[in-house]
Structure 1
């Protein structure tokens, strides 16, 4: 006897429903619902509040941390030009991390209850409701947790006096990424590179979701062969 397929009730909190989809979850989550109003994820008001973030909170919270990191680099004796090079390196490193996370973590295939639930919270909600303006940037509490492994990675590949500068650059890259991501969904760029990036990213959402993983840059899609064809990018279907 074949078990009846589970149906998600969009009028109820979603997080603890989606895990029941099992093998059907990947197909369900990649069928976008275009609506200005985002769904409710949790029945608990405090947890629900933590899932919603205004875009301006990202630069407001993290740019002071970037400035502090760069000032620490200057205090250790580095010149402004040396700090600028650290920042550029940090930004470039972030674009690679951005690509790797988006491709191999955010788009991991799941089918068990808790794996589906975790994926939905991490990235699935964004693909299911791509126009939900309060869930387009990473919640600061979650970003703060991810800062620890990022800091440790920077420490491994830098000297003690350059760690702060490179970390600050990487953090600046993250701020640029989240603000760019919001703009690509809700802004209306009239010229390149913004116009091209918007087409590129919306193509990832609405046409071919296993390619086009770069947000702030298409560089790593070129390098790793995940660049969609130009015909697909230019064809508007959303």
Structure 2
């Protein structure tokens, strides 16, 4: 049992330290360190490598899979309007997954050693170091696991000729999400829409972490009543 005054040493690998914070973990992890340096997670180099992903890997790896999946439905004889509707429905499914995962998994309350440790790897690190450019998008291995789950869900719930387009649309929604997420942290939007999205997301990071779970849109926040107040985190809004 570690004392409540346990201090995390930011100069050492973090992952196996944070669990010792116990009940103090969530207070610690929601006090962000705003710098572009990428903290070290693991002493083992291979594990450290697996946690870091450049943003452009997301469209490079997954857009070909999107195109291939949709092409399978095209080959099965569906009309263009039908395929468009399938893809749009898949994107809608992603927005719900995005909201659900963010709210109920990434923001789960933990206090045990392993609960804190797993939460930090999944999402806590992003709140502690929100400008870490190498941990803003999902690593390909994590995305592949999520893809398998989504694919088998569609295989189970939809006709064989429809499942590929639904999957492709959902994966396209994911790609848009991760690229948008990176841009909201590191881009300098000039258009009203992207400016508002950035303020909305930074509000979640720096003001009200318990609301504003949508990243690409506030659709499901509106549906489920988790829209925060409109004031954004002023200290970050101009970055």
Check conservation: 1:184, 1:197, Cα contact below 8 A: yes
> Unpaired segments of 5 or more residues in structure 1?
none
C-alpha separation between the residues in 2 aligned to 1:198 and 1:104?
22
Check conservation: 2:4, 2:22, Cα contact below 8 A: no
Q: Which residue of 1 aligns with 2:103?
A: 103
Q: With the length of structure 1 as denominator, give the TM-score of the two structures.
A: 0.96
Alignment map for 1:40-59 (pairs within 5 Å): 40-59=40-59
Displacement of 1:82 in angstroms is 1.3
Deviations 1:49-87 (A, max 9, x none): 111100000000000000000110011111222111111
Q: Which residue of 1 aligns with 2:8?
A: 8
Q: Which residue of 1 aligns with 2:27?
A: 27
Check conservation: 2:34, 2:130, Cα contact below 8 A: yes
Aligned-partner SS, 2:182: helix
Q: Stretches of 4+ moved more than 6 A in 1?
A: none
Q: Which residue of 2 aligns with 1:88?
A: 88
> Unpaired segments of 5 or more residues in structure 2?
none
Alignment map for 1:54-203 (pairs within 5 Å): 54-203=54-203
Check conservation: 1:70, 1:168, Cα contact below 8 A: yes
C-alpha separation between the residues in 2 aligned to 1:68 and 1:192?
34
Q: Which residue of 1 aligns with 2:234?
A: 236
Alpha carbons of structure 1 residues 167 and 29: separation in structure 2 relative to 1, 3 Å: same
Number of aligned pairs?
235
C-alpha separation between the residues in 2 aligned to 1:192 and 1:156?
41
Give me the CA root mean square deviation. Answer: 1.2
Displacement of 1:5 in angstroms is 1.5
C-alpha separation between the residues in 2 aligned to 1:45 and 1:229?
42
